[in-house]
Structure 1
Amino acid sequence: MPADLQPLGHAIKRAQYRHHRAVDAALIEIGTTLAQWDALRAIARNPESSSHKLAGLTFQSDQSFGALAGRMVERGLIQRVAGEGRALLHHLTPEGEEMLAAGSTVVDRLLAASFAPLNKAERQQLRALLSKLLGDDAP
């Protein structure tokens, strides 16, 4: 195995960890968490999706997402309605839309600061390389 792969993997993990810590700390100040904001974002992008699909989109187990969604229902951020079979379909409430917007402002600000050392072309190149690595064109 090439000697540069472990340091490369570690650098990617460090960048992700730095982003998660900074974003989670800032989101707590506005009354949410990274996990909740990410769930709100996934629901907004994929309305009427099942818990199973949303769990995958937010990198959680079905059980973890179900518990998170339950807390978000209690806070009035989302609604769940019965779907086909045992599926629960998810929608944002107006409060959830407001929290998503506020959280997105926080996330955008922190990511802008984090990626500030890279110019636009370097950010585009990094995005293209990560997409190539992942074999996708995900946003």
Structure 2
Amino acid sequence: MPPSLQDVGLAVKRLQWRHHREANRRLAPLGLSLAQWDVLRHLHAHPDASLHDLAVLTFQTDQSMGSLATRMIDRGLLQRRDGPGRAVRHRITDEGDRLRKAGSEVLDTVLTDSLGRLPEQDLATLHRLLIAAGATGPGPDD
């Protein structure tokens, strides 16, 4: 008997929860949370992103992203830059980039402990299926 959609959804959520919990635990010695590392990762990939852009990319509200960015600016991980018009853009600092790289190594170990155990072909299939499932219905921009 195949698993129900609820069983599959719960399995995805449990794995996500495990990744989040373990990532936060292993990032703590760097002084980072998973949310902070995710901001650094996305800002590295999208320099000069606005707060709204970062909120969408990191699955946060504009308000929570604003609070998080302020704390990260105070720690010297991000800097604000004037953009066109009244827009405020953000850049990662050298210290933020150092922690992004160190955090990436941490996340690689977290993911290796679970997903890394899958054979390469299964991992490719899982990726394809998750992309396909995520491509339907409302997304973070809806």
Equivalent-residue separation in structure 2 for 1:116 and 1:51 (angstroms): 33
Q: Say if 1:51 and 1:87, in contact at 8 Å, map to a contact too.
A: no
Equivalent-residue separation in structure 1 for 2:102 and 2:31 (angstroms): 10
TM-score (norm 2): 0.90
Match of 1:76 in 2: 76
Match of 1:29 in 2: 29
Match of 1:125 in 2: 125
1:79 partner letter: Q
Number of residues of Structure 1 aligned to a counterpart in Structure 2 = 135
Unaligned runs of 5+ in 2: 137-142
Match of 2:140 in 1: none
TM-score (norm 1): 0.92
Matches within 5 A, 1:60-75: 60-75=60-75
Q: How many angstroms does 1:17 deviate by?
A: 0.3
Equivalent-residue separation in structure 2 for 1:96 and 1:116 (angstroms): 27
Percent sequence identity over matched residues? 46
Q: Say if 1:76 and 1:96, in contact at 8 Å, map to a contact too.
A: yes
Unaligned runs of 5+ in 1: none
Which stretch shifts more, 3-12 or 20-29? 3-12
Q: Secondary structure at the match of 1:60?
A: coil
Q: What do you get for the CA RMSD once the two structures are aligned?
A: 1.5
Match of 1:56 in 2: 56
Matches within 5 A, 1:98-113: 98-113=98-113
Q: How many angstroms does 1:87 deviate by?
A: 2.1
